[in-house]
Amino acid sequence: MQDELLYQMQNAFPMEQRPFQQIAEALGSSEEEVIKTVQRLKEEKIIRQTSAIFDTKRLGYKSSLVAFKVPEEKTDKAASIINQHPGVSHNYLRNHDYNIWFTMAVAPDSKLGLEKTIEILKEQTGADDAITLPTLKMFKISVKMDTTGKRAKKEKVKKTVHKEIELTPEHIAVIKALQKDIKVVSEPFKRITEELGMSYEKLFGIANELKESGVMRRFATILNHRQAGFGANAMSVWAVPGEKGEEIGRQLAEFSAVSHCYLRPSYPNWPYNLFAMVHAKTQEECDSLIEEMAKETGLTEYGKLYSTVEFKKQRLVYFDDAFEKWETEVGGS
């Protein structure tokens, strides 16, 4: 049951009054057994968090992948400086001359803006060089580890059409609440309804509005990949002719082992414009998958960047005062 439970919770966690009961019925188990299993998986740090996953861009945040070239003896200190920014959710040491890779977001009301913030961090860390790699086209973002080992190697990526939405203070209050990790109890959303003074019906109605508009990608469980048995992840990078970028991007996104797939800008010192994050249980399996992707697409110029140290990995906290505080205390100095 455990493997199927983990897969289903990654795919979509039911937004119901008693979600674990619904999961139990689908698995032919009991609510009590499911809650007990999920609690154990959290204690074993296999489950990282169960919460809403939001679209940074649709919330008005500006973001980018960033790579710094930092002298080896300065990487730990540089990573510590970068991690202090609340808009940094992921930060890794990777096996490349550009060795520190992090995701950076700034709030909609940022006074410094994205480029200036990156400049400040480059100066503070003593990085020799920096590459800013914003998303030009997103083909896939769906972190779902195949814990069952039964899923197909490839899957079609569904296109969705989103409704327009104008965020109200009520929407923002719900976003702030749903981005937090739920408690593993029979009614995990009860606390939110009490805090916001809402009925379940209203809470789930607003959540559905956020989902239909694309502001909320989904409500789901995120795993600690390594603890869940997926010990290798490679950021595969590909040099793709501009006219073939979208076609090949969609092709790579169909691989189930690919969680993220983006088209990004290339530079004279960085020829790769297509990025696909590959997850597998071993490095050998990762290498094999990337070779298969190369054969299928006919691409010959590509690279594999493995993470050697995880400096930071956490969900971005939206509408957090920490953004303004960082700009005041650090960015403004």
Euclidean distance between CA atoms 89 and 136, whole angstroms: 20
Spatial contact of 188 and 195, defined as CB atoms under 8 Å apart: no
Q: Does 171 qualify as catalytic in the annotation? A: no
Tell me how far apart the alpha carbons of residues 77 and 65 are, in angstroms, rounded to a whole number: 20
Contact 47, 38 (CB under 8 A): yes
CA distance 202 to 197: 10
3-state secondary structure of 133: strand
CB 147 within 8 A of CB 6: yes
Q: Choose, from 85, 90, 96, 162, the residue flagged as catalytic.
A: 90
56/319 Cα distance (integer angstroms): 11
Whole-number Å distance between alpha carbons of 167 and 209: 10
Residues forming the active site: 90
